[in-house]
Amino acid sequence: MKKIALLGATGSIGQQTVDVVNMHQNEFQLVSISVGRNINEARKIIKACSPRFVSVLHKEDRDMLQLEFPHVTFAYGHEGLIEAAIYEEADIVVNAVLGSVGLEPTLEAIKRGKPIALANKETLVTAGHLVMEAARKYNVPILPVDSEHSAIYQCLQGQDEKAIERLILTASGGSFRDKTRKQLEGVTVKEALNHPNWSMGAKITIDSATMMNKGLEVIEAYWLFGLPYDKIEVVLHKESIIHSMVEFQDTSVIAQLGTPDMRAPIQYALTYPNRLELPNAKRLQLWEVGKLHFSQMDYSRFRCLAFAFEAGKQGGTMPTVLNAANEEAVTAFLDGHISFLQIENMIETAMNRHDVMQNPCLSTIKEVDLEARQFVRSLITKRG
Ligand SMILES: NC(=O)C1=CN([C@@H]2O[C@H](COP(=O)(O)OP(=O)(O)OC[C@H]3O[C@@H](n4cnc5c(N)ncnc54)[C@H](OP(=O)(O)O)[C@@H]3O)[C@@H](O)[C@H]2O)C=CC1
Ligand SMILES: CC(=O)[C@@H](O)[C@H](O)COP(=O)(O)O
Ligand SMILES: [Mn+2]
- Domains of the chain from N-terminus onward: 2-144 (3.40.50.720), 149-260+279-383 (1.10.1740.10)
What is the atom index within ligand 2 of the atom nearest the CA of 243?
Answer: 7
pLDDT at 381: 86
pLDDT at 29: 98
Q: Are 24 and 50 in contact (CB under 8 A)?
A: no
What is the atom index within ligand 2 of the atom nearest the CA of 148?
Answer: 3
For the chain, which ranges sit under pLDDT 50?
A: none
238 is in an annotated binding site: no
Q: Which amino acid is it at 117?
A: A
pLDDT at 383: 65
- Give yes or no for residue 201 CB within 6 A of ligand 2: no
Ligand 1 binding pocket, CB closer than 6 Å = 8-14, 34-38, 57, 81, 96-98, 101, 119-122, 146, 198, 200-201, 203-204, 262
- Give yes or no for residue 256 CB within 6 A of ligand 2: no
pLDDT at 47: 97
Choose which residue among 208, 243, 244, 295 to substitute to test ligand 2 binding: the one with the highest number of ligand atoms within 8 A of its C-beta.
208
What is the atom index within ligand 1 of the atom nearest the CA of 78?
Answer: 30
Distance CA 346, CA 365 (A): 19
Q: Where are the beta strands (DSSP E) in 110-228?
A: 116-118, 142-144, 164-171
150 is in an annotated binding site: no
pLDDT at 384: 57
What's the ipTM?
A: 0.99
**How would you list the strands of the sheet with 232-236, edge to edge?**
253-257, 242-248, 164-171, 232-236, 295-296
pLDDT at 8: 98
Alpha-carbon radius of gyration of the chain:
20
